[in-house]
């Protein structure tokens, strides 16, 4: 057998099969069943001569593997052939095989076609590079233009970001850990004062404290601040975003005068929405604001223990005023949740009469934020204390609002939260960037285990380590672009508020879950070093962990996203009868069947797997299919007389899957658009690789769904996993540059292990 | 159509189809394609009369859904029929349909067979209960015998556990948080002294400090201590397990005299193995122990910064003596890693000459443990300081050992770590138990959202909440039994040390990853309450997080497990030629094809899905298949001349998948055996449900693999997911009892939210 294989390197009809035979044995990816299937396919080619056929049958006998030297000889022949063809075009076994046909173009073409068919049918996504010595010459990181990369990522507010970077880099502004809660709070509050002194608060209130509308710069600053201490970030967000934002968005002109003091921090405030009994379900909060017509005052009251305000940042110590959300009662009638400005402390910090405050207690992280509880015992505030932009009570006790629907009014009041969600989504991505920068820099220098006698292996070269860090890096890049797009839409304002709200809710959830998972992986990937607070990952993990449940619990928000999609779907057919919808679904199903055609479901070559059109189609397909099935399930339940709430609960898992699919599609499209828009060709190549890695790793993560659905066949699923490994290996070569491009100040990384200083 | 359906309730040939028609529409799980497929199958039944056939075609027209009232009438008829049959036997649509055939046994049987075939073919795992009003009468938690459950879980060392529970319940022994590192360390050290005073250390050293061999009781105490403060647990483990254990296992008689002082804490020690440069790769540590023949002493030395001992529990402050692992050099020759007892501090706590110690720094958790660094500058210790049970140096400088192979000697020295891994695996499960107890108790009383006007819904009744907590509860139970079996084998000793070592490594990894993921989910499931330290989950998460990377990094340990399996596989064929192995593989493949027969791959009825034989076969199949393919891949790489280390790195992902599949199979079998051995019938029913839930949820988690492989078809995959939901809903009814059975002292739960006291 060995001799036969050796001599085949000279046989013109057999030579083209050498790459395939080599791959079948040497790569070791084929099991016996596959070997046999391959043999049968080859032997069935009508144009192969009987002699060559016999040789192929022999070479692919699972019981008679070739000797190492015969394989080496085959490899040498393949490499020689590969050296004569353009590596950019010869990416498949078929191409290589065709190149090994000497001087007979027709035979070359026939060979290529036959090999391509076999390759595809068997899911042999083993590319020519691997055969032709790719291991000798892996993709090398080009001299990535780091400055260009950072410019691209910084986007339109580079100056604002630079200001924050400068602040974070200054001595004394390093993230805190291991100090007492009291010290940490004082430290963070000092930093906040310093930021206010530098005018950071002014940009939050365009047209009030500044002339130019600088919301974009404000959001960029928030996002960049998230490289540093997260307690400071949250305090910054509470003061300028939530408290100041509630005055800006819900108040009228008179209230806005306060904003100058809010911006300067002369007036420290808090945002008292959540209650112990009601976190997610804001509509059912229990604090009351009864209008007393006799005195023209509102009476703010905590009727029972579950109605106490809870987790309120600033309430424990620093805040002097609170925006209190309460159920408005006028003349015995309830009008739903409205917001009121209530003084809670005097200048000396003592709570005012009728107000009780307490600390919420020690937390997993963010102990620099003084979260607290508030109780109100019939506290009276003037009529002007109501934030009355959208609704008000007249002096003679009449309730007025331009928004007739109570539900719509409620969501308008909650609009303040959108900015918070855009901000938290942005911060979550920043946090993932810091964690990955520390972990990847460490993994690029840390060595452990290796071949006898040789230096130990760099841990970033282990496939398992790559799998944990590099798809996460790709997702972080993808989210960067998705959130930049969200910020731009939010800042631009305009008519699509509902869409922006849904996108903010979805991206906040997706990004915060991503940050939590990524930091956990980074922590574990750094072993004991990852457990030390000084290396930042652990502290970030603890601080950012609450991102998944505050500013709207992720699970609740994702259901909102899904319900929004269902509503839009239903509106598409408003007026049409249910059967009309079904006919539409049937038409869609026909399109879908096209996408499921057997060629596409089995395509496994790298060109196809790295084709953005394939990714886009797969993400779209999954979302549409889930939307249709969820809509049908809801419809059937509703028509069986089940109420909406229960129907939604029964299909909760499907709603969550739909929301996940939707957000992932949006993220992918934003990243793909970002890649396309990148003018620098070198950068674009790397961003493109990251985009492919994001897309394929996310498809791989949901592969059970795609395979069950029939959108992807088993062979292709395997090829996708291999492509994820291959892409990770490629991205690994530029991984350090790709995290350096985030432009995180050294002082923020703080971590000795990020600087090869694990030993200090 | 509605009328037709209504009148069908009286038609003898149509009546039996009503359950199927009802489910097809009302449940909403079927999409259009499935509806059409169902219609075709029904219409193709030869024994159905043309009229009935036409009716069925009409009823299942996707474009003409029945009216709610028609469906209600159908449901009423089905319920009436269901009320006449034994619910224990009528678990399927087929059974219900058959019951609706009046007085014609032959027709009833034919109907049952036809419906069963259709039900199975379409993956309609929609059981009769759901149709016949299961929602009105969900499985109720029986009065679970909590005392019996706790007895069962406590196993043979109930008295030892009771002692620990009593300690943990005493005032002043509550888990710490939010205090300074110095306070926390002092507090924990005081607790450790108290435990020593009560004789807890004595059991660690059977035959030395006590008469009876009480290793089992010691491990049970460790496991139970993990309900409390984990810093105390780790200090306990370092002093009695690692430091004392190294003397017990590696020392000779003379050394063991020290154990009395170790047990009483008169001698506080530490275990100095890890170095900054070498955590996982212990064989390459750099600290040296050179034998100086002239003085008969060893010279312990830290040759460079990366060789400093790091993360050593006790080294920062309390330890007076260290077991130091170092490369032994005798007369210029290296003999590998050996252990030496080195005094590092005097009675006053001052470091001795030549020894430098420093704090490792603030950590994510476990700050009650004084982890530290140690440097040795040519520190001299007498010849007797070498722990010389397995190897020694004679006075005249000769190296002696009964174990000729250096590799084997090395692994014998590392044997001390096995006890540590058994202990950490046990503790990880305890930690998951505490987290789940808090989260499940809270979820059972916390309400949020709900239908208008009705009380809000208990969050444990949401499917998404169940999915996050209840499969984790099932896995925790499974691990409980697996680890009890491991403890028993470890305590029994005997000949299978290698197997016990592999099992300890695998279960330590699996259990610690499980604990980390579970605590993260518990944290998020409790929202803001989960973020408060007082509710324990967050603190436990931070403390236990390092379990995944210390005592052997999980990723490294899992590769050891896989390599052990490969070695055993190879040994099976020792002597046989490679072709012999391939023939075996071919024979196995034939068996495998049997398991993959189309009936089994499609079976979707609940009896099959809850059949332990099915679970066992699936776990076994996956492990064997992965073992075969990994072996082939390794073999092919090795025969292509690739060295073993690189070959293993190239197939790293597959090795990890194999290890995971192996451990999961072992865990399943231990749980299934535990269920079988349970004498109490009521308990056995609930344990059986948990075992089913564990098995199916783990299969569901790896469904992409099973579907790609062809072991499970799409319909069955869907049915498995539905069964996981159904089992979760059933387990939910007894969830609080099932966590109460862990017997965690109230004081350990500490958490106000575990007692319905979220409001205090």
Helices (H), B392-496: 406-413, 416-443, 463-492
Give the angle subtended at the CA of B229 by the CAs of B225 and B234, to the nearest 5°: 70
From the list B516, B585, B643, the residue facing A32 with the nearest CB is: B585
CB count, 10 Å around CB of A63?
Answer: 11
From the list A278, A284, A629, the residue facing B31 with the nearest CB is: A629
Cβ-defined contact of B32 to A585 (cutoff 8 Å): yes
Specify the residue for token string 């365009």: A206
From the list A65, A542, A582, the residue facing B542 with the nearest CB is: A542
The share of chain B scoring above pLDDT 90, in percent, equals 64
In the prediction, which pLDDT does B6 show?
A: 59
In the prediction, which pLDDT does A30 show?
A: 59
The SS3 call for residue A276 is coil
Q: Which of A434, A562, A501, A399 is nearest to A175 (CA)?
A: A434
From the list B29, B68, B717, the residue facing A641 with the nearest CB is: B68
Give B110-145 pLDDT, tens digit per residue.
Answer: 777 777 766 665 554 433 334 333 333 334 455 689
From the list B451, B524, B707, the residue facing A548 with the nearest CB is: B524
Give B5-17 pLDDT, tens digit per residue.
Answer: 656 666 777 777 7
The share of chain A scoring above pLDDT 70, in percent, equals 84
| Residue that is last in its domain, among A414, A443, A476 | A414
Chain B contact set for A448 (CB, 8 A): 278-281
Q: Which of A53, A456, A734, A660 is nearest to B277 (CA)?
A: A456
Chain B contact set for A534 (CB, 8 A): 361-362
State how far residue B728 is from chain A, nearest Cα, in angstroms: 13
State how far residue A138 is from chain B, nearest Cα, in angstroms: 15
Cβ-defined contact of A717 to B708 (cutoff 8 Å): yes
Q: Is residue B565 part of a domain?
A: no
More confident residue, B517 or A121: B517
User: The tokens of A603 are what?
Assistant: 């395509």
In the prediction, which pLDDT does A639 show?
A: 86
Q: Answer whether residue B149 shows pLDDT above 90.
A: yes
For B86-99, what is the mean pLDDT? 63
Q: Answer whether residue A120 shows pLDDT above 70.
A: no
pLDDT band at A33 (very low <50, low <70, confident <90, very high): low
Cβ-defined contact of A714 to B725 (cutoff 8 Å): no
Contact A438, A538 (CB under 8 A): no
Q: Best of B531, B553, B648 to disrupt the A interface by mutation (most A CBs within 10 Å)?
A: B531
Chain B contact set for A717 (CB, 8 A): 704, 708
Residue A467's contacts (CB-CB under 8 Å, 6 or more residues apart) are A724, A725, A728, B653
Mean per-residue pLDDT over chain B, rounded: 86
Q: The domain spanning residue B168 has which CATH number?
A: 1.10.540.10
CB count, 10 Å around CB of B231?
Answer: 25
Q: Best of B131, B448, B528 to disrupt the A interface by mutation (most A CBs within 10 Å)?
A: B528
The SS3 call for residue B452 is coil
In the prediction, which pLDDT does B641 show?
A: 87
Q: Answer whether residue B107 shows pLDDT above 80.
A: no
Cβ-defined contact of B32 to A589 (cutoff 8 Å): yes
Q: Is residue B86 part of a domain?
A: yes
Cβ-defined contact of A548 to B759 (cutoff 8 Å): no
Cβ-defined contact of B450 to A64 (cutoff 8 Å): no
Give A335-364 pLDDT, tens digit per residue.
Answer: 999 999 999 999 999 999 999 999 999 999
Size of interface A-B (CB pairs under 8 A): 274
Cβ-defined contact of A555 to B464 (cutoff 8 Å): yes
pLDDT band at A131 (very low <50, low <70, confident <90, very high): very low
Chain B residue whose CA is closest to A362? B533
From the list B365, B464, B530, the residue facing A652 with the nearest CB is: B464
Q: Do residues B311 and B213 both lie within one domain?
A: no
Q: Which of A330, A316, A323, A162 is nearest to A255 (CA)?
A: A323
Q: Answer whether residue B714 shows pLDDT above 50.
A: yes
Q: Answer whether residue B582 shows pLDDT above 90.
A: no
B451/A649 Cα distance (integer angstroms): 10
Q: Is residue B331 part of a domain?
A: yes
Chain B contact set for A32 (CB, 8 A): 582, 585-586, 589, 632
A94: left (phi over 0), alpha (psi -120 to 50) or beta: alpha
What's chain B's Rg over C-alpha atoms? 31
Cβ-defined contact of A65 to B284 (cutoff 8 Å): no
Chain B contact set for A280 (CB, 8 A): 448-449, 527
Q: Answer whether residue A482 shows pLDDT above 90.
A: yes
Q: Answer whether residue A499 shows pLDDT above 80.
A: yes
Cβ-defined contact of B650 to A463 (cutoff 8 Å): yes
Q: Which of A479-493, B165-179, B399-413 has the lowest mean pLDDT?
A: B399-413
- Taking each helix axis from N to C end, the angle separating A554-572 and A652-677, rounded to the nearest 10 degrees, works out to 80
Q: Which of A735, A745, A136, A746 is nearest to A458 (CA)?
A: A735
A426/B190 Cα distance (integer angstroms): 45
Q: Do residues B112 and B19 both lie within one domain?
A: yes
What's chain A's Rg over C-alpha atoms? 31
- Its pTM stands at 0.83
Q: The domain spanning residue A377 has which CATH number?
A: 2.40.110.10
From the list B28, B311, B725, the residue facing A528 with the nearest CB is: B311
In the prediction, which pLDDT does A144 show?
A: 84
Chain A contact set for B365 (CB, 8 A): 531
Q: Which of B651, B479, B482, B628 is nearest to B559 (CA)?
A: B651
Chain A residue whose CA is closest to B453? A284
Cβ-defined contact of B449 to A281 (cutoff 8 Å): yes
pLDDT band at A129 (very low <50, low <70, confident <90, very high): very low
Contact A274, A281 (CB under 8 A): no
Q: Do residues B180 and B305 both lie within one domain?
A: no
A120/A118 Cα distance (integer angstroms): 5
User: Got the DSSP string for B594-646?
Assistant: HHT-HHHHH---HHHHT-HHHHHHHHHHHHHHHHHHHHHHHHHHHHTT--HHH
Domain limits for position B390: 269-412
Structural domain count of chain B? 3
Cβ-defined contact of B28 to A633 (cutoff 8 Å): yes
Q: Do residues B332 and B228 both lie within one domain?
A: no
Q: Is residue B421 part of a domain?
A: no
User: Got the DSSP string for A605-636?
Assistant: SHHHHT-HHHHHHHHHHHHHHHHHHHHHHHHH
Q: Answer whether residue A569 shows pLDDT above 80.
A: yes
Q: Is residue A457 part of a domain?
A: no
Give B476-514 pLDDT, tens digit per residue.
Answer: 999 999 999 999 999 888 767 888 999 999 999 999 999
In the prediction, which pLDDT does A296 show?
A: 96
Chain B contact set for A365 (CB, 8 A): 531
Cβ-defined contact of B280 to A527 (cutoff 8 Å): yes
Report the b/e string of A202-236 with b at 16+ CB within 10 A. bbbbbebbbeeebbbbbbbbbbbbbbbbbbbbbbb
From the list B306, B448, B464, the residue facing A653 with the nearest CB is: B464
Cβ-defined contact of A281 to B456 (cutoff 8 Å): yes
CB count, 10 Å around CB of A454?
Answer: 10
State how far residue A305 is from chain B, nearest Cα, in angstroms: 6
pLDDT band at A597 (very low <50, low <70, confident <90, very high): low
Q: Is residue A534 part of a domain?
A: no
Q: Which of B421, B389, B416, B418 is nearest to B242 (CA)?
A: B416
Q: Do residues B117 and B39 both lie within one domain?
A: yes
| Residue that is last in its domain, among A99, A117, A136 | A136
Three-state SS letters, B726-750:
HHHHHHHCCHHHHHHCCCCCHHHHC
For B58-63, what is the mean pLDDT? 71
Give the angle subtended at the CA of A539 by the CAs of A537 and A543, to the nearest 5°: 115
In the prediction, which pLDDT does A125 show?
A: 40
In the prediction, which pLDDT does B486 show?
A: 96
Cβ-defined contact of A714 to B718 (cutoff 8 Å): no
In the prediction, which pLDDT does A446 show?
A: 92
Chain A contact set for B585 (CB, 8 A): 32
For A421-427, what is the mean pLDDT? 97
Which segment, A294-303, B13-22, B131-140, is predicted with the most confidence on average? A294-303
Give A250-261 pLDDT, tens digit per residue.
Answer: 999 999 999 999
From the list A63, A311, A464, the residue facing B652 with the nearest CB is: A464
Chain A residue whose CA is closest to B719? A708
From the list B360, B550, B708, the residue facing A707 with the nearest CB is: B708
State how far residue B447 is from chain A, nearest Cα, in angstroms: 8
Mean per-residue pLDDT over chain A, rounded: 86
Q: Which of A466-480, A657-671, B274-288, B376-390 has the lowest mean pLDDT?
A: B274-288
pLDDT band at A136 (very low <50, low <70, confident <90, very high): very low
For B425-431, what is the mean pLDDT? 98
CA distances from B48 to A269, B114, B472 (A): 75, 10, 47
Give B299-314 pLDDT, tens digit per residue.
Answer: 999 999 999 999 999 9
Q: Is residue A83 part of a domain?
A: yes
State how far residue B5 is from chain A, nearest Cα, in angstroms: 14
In the prediction, which pLDDT does A705 show?
A: 96
User: Got the DSSP string for A144-159?
Assistant: --HHHHHHHHHGGGHH
Which segment, B68-77, B410-419, B714-723, is predicted with the most confidence on average? B714-723
Q: Which of A580-594, A668-682, B556-570, B707-721 has the lowest mean pLDDT?
A: A580-594
Chain B contact set for A72 (CB, 8 A): 640-641
Q: Which of A694, A229, A728, A134 is nearest to A443 (CA)?
A: A728
Q: Best of B37, B185, B708, B711 to disrupt the A interface by mutation (most A CBs within 10 Å)?
A: B708
pLDDT band at B408 (very low <50, low <70, confident <90, very high): confident
Chain B contact set for A532 (CB, 8 A): 360-364
Q: Answer whether residue A577 shows pLDDT above 60.
A: no
Q: Is residue B158 part of a domain?
A: yes
Strand ranges (E), B320-444:
321-330, 333-343, 355-359, 371-376, 379-382, 391-393, 399-401
Give B312-370 pLDDT, tens digit per residue.
Answer: 999 999 999 999 999 999 999 999 999 999 999 999 999 999 999 999 999 999 999 99
Residue B422 DSSP one-character state: H
From the list A27, A463, A639, the residue facing B68 with the nearest CB is: A639
Backbone angles phi, psi at A379, to 5 degrees: -80, 130
In the prediction, which pLDDT does B566 show?
A: 93
| Residue that is last in its domain, among B109, B136, B163 | B136
Q: Which of B367, B312, B368, B307 is nearest to B345 (CA)?
A: B312
């Amino acid at each position: 057998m060995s001799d036969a294989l050796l001599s085949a390197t000279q046989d013109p009809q057999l030579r083209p099969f050498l790459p395939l035979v080599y791959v079948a044995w040497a790569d070791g990816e084929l099991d016996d069943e596959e070997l046999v299937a391959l043999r049968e396919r080859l032997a069935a080619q009508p144009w192969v001569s009987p002699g060559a056929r016999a040789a192929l049958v022999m070479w692919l006998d699972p019981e008679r593997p070739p000797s190492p030297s015969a394989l080496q000889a085959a490899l040498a022949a393949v490499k020689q052939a590969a050296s004569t063809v353009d590596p950019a075009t010869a990416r498949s076994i078929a191409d290589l095989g065709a190149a090994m046909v000497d001087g007979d173009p027709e035979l070359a073409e026939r060979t290529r076609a036959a090999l391509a068919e076999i390759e595809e049918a068997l899911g042999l996504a083993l590319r020519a590079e691997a055969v032709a010595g790719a291991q000798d010459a892996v993709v090398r990181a080009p001299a990535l233009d780091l400055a260009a990369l950072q410019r691209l990522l910084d986007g339109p507010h580079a100056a604002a970001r630079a200001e924050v970077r400068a602040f974070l880099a200054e001595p004394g502004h390093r993230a805190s850990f291991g100090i007492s809660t009291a010290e940490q709070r004082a430290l963070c509050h000092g930093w906040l004062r310093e930021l206010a002194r530098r005018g950071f608060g002014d940009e939050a209130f365009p047209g009030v404290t500044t002339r130019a509308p600088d919301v974009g710069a404000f959001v960029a600053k928030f996002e960049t601040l998230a490289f540093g201490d997260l307690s400071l970030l949250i305090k910054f967000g509470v003061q300028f975003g939530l408290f100041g934002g509630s005055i800006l968005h819900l108040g009228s002109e008179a209230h806005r005068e306060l904003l100058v003091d809010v911006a300067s921090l002369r007036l420290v405030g808090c945002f008292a929405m959540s209650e112990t009994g009601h976190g997610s379900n804001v509509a059912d909060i229990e604090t009351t604001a009864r209008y007393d017509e006799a005195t023209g005052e509102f009476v703010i009251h905590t009727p029972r223990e579950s109605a106490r305000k809870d987790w309120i940042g600033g309430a424990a110590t620093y805040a002097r005023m609170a925006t209190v959300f309460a159920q408005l009662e006028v003349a015995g009638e309830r009008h739903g949740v409205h917001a009121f400005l209530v003084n809670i402390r005097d200048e000396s910090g003592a709570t005012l009469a009728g107000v009780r405050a307490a600390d919420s207690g020690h937390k997993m992280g963010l102990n620099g934020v003084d979260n607290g509880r508030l109780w109100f015992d019939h506290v009276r505030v003037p009529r002007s204390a109501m934030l009355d932009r959208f609704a008000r009570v007249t002096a003679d006790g009449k309730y007025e609002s331009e928004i007739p629907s109570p539900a719509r009014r409620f969501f308008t009041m909650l609009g303040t939260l959108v900015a918070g969600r855009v901000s938290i989504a942005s911060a979550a991505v920043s946090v993932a960037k810091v964690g990955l920068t520390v972990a990847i820099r460490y993994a690029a220098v840390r060595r452990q285990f290796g071949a006898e006698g040789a230096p130990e292996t760099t841990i970033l070269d282990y496939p398992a380590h790559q799998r944990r860090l590099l798809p996460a890096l790709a997702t972080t890049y993808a989210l960067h672009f998705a959130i930049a797009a969200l910020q731009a839409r939010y800042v631009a304002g305009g008519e699509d508020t509902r869409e922006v709200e849904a996108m903010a809710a979805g991206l906040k959830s997706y990004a915060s879950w991503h940050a939590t998972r990524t930091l956990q992986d980074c922590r574990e990937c750094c072993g004991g070093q990852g457990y030390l607070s000084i290396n930042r990952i652990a502290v970030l993990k603890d601080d950012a962990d609450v991102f998944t449940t505050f500013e709207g619990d992720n699970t609740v928000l994702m259901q909102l996203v899904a319900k929004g999609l269902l509503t839009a779907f239903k509106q598409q057919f408003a007026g049409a009868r249910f059967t009309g919808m079904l006919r539409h679904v049937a038409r869609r199903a026909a399109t879908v069947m096209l996408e499921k055609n057997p060629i596409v479901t089995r395509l496994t070559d790298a060109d196809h797997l790295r084709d953005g059109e394939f990714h886009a189609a797969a993400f779209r397909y999954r979302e549409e299919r889930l939307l249709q099935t969820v809509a049908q399930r809801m419809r059937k339940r509703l028509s069986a007389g089940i109420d909406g709430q229960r129907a939604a609960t029964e299909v909760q898992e499907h709603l969550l899957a739909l929301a996940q699919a939707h957000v992932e599609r949006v993220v992918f499209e934003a990243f793909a658009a970002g890649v396309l828009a990148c003018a620098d060709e070198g950068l674009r190549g790397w961003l493109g690789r990251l985009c492919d890695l994001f897309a394929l790793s996310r498809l791989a993560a949901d592969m059970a769904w795609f395979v069950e659905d029939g959108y992807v066949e088993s062979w292709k699923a395997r090829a996708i996993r291999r492509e994820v490994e291959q892409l990770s290996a490629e991205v690994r070569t530029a991984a350090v540059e790709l995290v350096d491009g985030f432009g995180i100040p050294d002082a923020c990384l703080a971590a000795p292990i990020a600087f090869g200083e694990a030993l200090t």
